[in-house]
């Protein structure tokens, strides 16, 4: 009986890990975020929901893209030919920034 319970517990743990792992690793396409004079397109999120990623980018754009290093609390880097990559722990937000 103990071995059966251990087997069931092991299967549940493995299934739980298998179900939870891809969600963290899946990159979602989240569309475009706009504010007067700014927009971020081809926005993507990894490790967080699109609604949360769009909200973070939207607040940054509404603040006239200040600070210039990206959304507060996120470590971002960019180059002239690559989209922005912002990280916070294991979460990632990717976007192409444009001001006009």
Domain boundaries, the chain: 27-99
Q: Using the predicted structure, report yes or no on whether residue 22 has a pLDDT greater than 80.
A: no
Please, what is the Cα angle at 38 between 85 and 91, to 5 degrees?
Answer: 25
Q: Using the predicted structure, report yes or no on whether residue 23 has a pLDDT greater than 90.
A: no
Q: What is the mean pLDDT of residues 19-43?
A: 82
Q: Is the pTM of this model over 0.85?
A: no
Q: Using the predicted structure, report yes or no on whether residue 10 has a pLDDT greater than 70.
A: no
Q: Could you tell me which residues come within 8 angstroms of residue 3 by beta carbon, excluding any fewer than 6 positions away?
A: none
pLDDT digits (tens, 9 = 90+) for 51-75: 999 999 999 999 999 999 999 999 9
- Is residue 28 classed exposed, middle or buried when 0-12, 13-18 and 19+ CB atoms within 10 A define those classes? middle
- What confidence score (pLDDT) does residue 81 get? 74
| Residue closest to 44 by CA, chosen among 59, 64, 29 | 29
d(CA 62, CA 38): 8
């Amino acid at each position: 009986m103990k071995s059966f319970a251990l087997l069931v517990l092991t299967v549940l743990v493995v299934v739980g890990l298998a179900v939870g792992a891809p969600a963290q690793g899946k990159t979602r396409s989240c569309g475009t975020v706009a504010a007067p004079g700014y927009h971020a397109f081809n926005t993507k999120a990894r490790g967080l929901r699109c609604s949360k990623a769009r909200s973070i980018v939207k607040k940054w754009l509404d603040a006239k893209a200040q600070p210039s290093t990206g959304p507060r609390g996120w470590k971002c880097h960019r180059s002239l030919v690559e989209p922005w990559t912002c990280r916070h722990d294991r979460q990632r937000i990717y976007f192409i920034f444009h001001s006009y």
